[in-house]
Amino acid sequence: MTTPPDPPPAALAPPPVAGPRAVRRRWSLVVAAAAPAALLAAVVLTSSPPPALAVVVAVALLVTPGLVVTDLVSRRLPDRLVAPLAAATLGGLALHAATGAGSWPSVLQGLAVGVAVLVAGGAVSWWGGLGMGDVKLGAALATSTALTGTTAELAGGAVLATGSVAAACAVAVAARRARRDRGPGEARPASATGGTSLARGVPLGPVLLAAWWATVTVEATGASTV
C-alpha cells in the first residue's frame, strides 16, 4: 500500500477561490471607501487648492479604495499603492516651493514631519506595535499635509496624533483579544522581532486615510475662505 503524498506547503498551495459573497463584499467595501473619498476630493478640488495639493489629492483618490479594501481584507498596505502616493507627495513638495505656492521652510518642515513619523513608526513596528505598511502610509500622509498651506507641524501632527491613538487602541484591543483566546497553558504571542505583531490583526490604514482626508478637506476649504 502506497503512502499518500504529503500536502503541499501553504506557500505553494493555490490561493482559495473567492465565492460570490466574498466578491460582493469586496465591491461593497470599494464603494464604501470610494464614495466619501470622491466627495471630499471634489470639495478640496473645487476650493482652488495649490496645484501640488490637487495632484496629491487626485492620486490619493485613486489609491484610497484599494488601500482600504486590501487592509480590511488581508491586513496589508501594498507598496504598489503606497508608493504612488509617496512619489506624488515628494514631487508635490518640490512643485509647491518652485511655483511659489509655498516656501522652502514649510517644505522642509513637511519633510521633517514625515521623517519623524517614519522613524518613530519604524521603532514601534520593530517592537511589534505597527506594520511597516501603516508606518509608510502614515509618513506619506503626514508629509503631504504641508501642501495645505498651513503650518506643517500642526496639520501633520493631527494625522500623526490620530494614527498614534488608533495604534494604541489597536494594540490594546488585539492584546485583550489574544489574552481572551489564549488558554492558560499556551505561550504568549511572539513580538515583532521574532513573530507576529499584536496590531497586525487590526487595520489602521482606513483610520489614517480618514484622518488625512478630514484634515486636508478642513484646511483646504478653510484656506480658501480666508
Grade residue 128 by pLDDT with cuts at 50, 70 and 90. Answer: low
17 within a domain of the structure (yes/no): no
188 within a domain of the structure (yes/no): yes
Report helix, strand or coil for 111.
helix
Instruction: Tell me the one-letter amino acid at 116.
Output: A
Residue-wise pLDDT for 33-48, tens only, equals: 899 999 999 999 998 8
27 within a domain of the structure (yes/no): no
187 within a domain of the structure (yes/no): yes
7 within a domain of the structure (yes/no): no
User: Which residue segment(s) compose the domain that 213 sits in?
Assistant: 32-224
Q: How many domains, the chain? A: 1
Grade residue 120 by pLDDT with cuts at 50, 70 and 90. Answer: confident
210 within a domain of the structure (yes/no): yes
155 within a domain of the structure (yes/no): yes
- pTM score, whole prediction: 0.73
Say if residues 45 and 22 touch (Cβ distance below 8 Å): no
Residue 213, classified by CB atoms within 10 Å of its CB into exposed (0-12), middle (13-18) or buried (19+), is buried
24 within a domain of the structure (yes/no): no
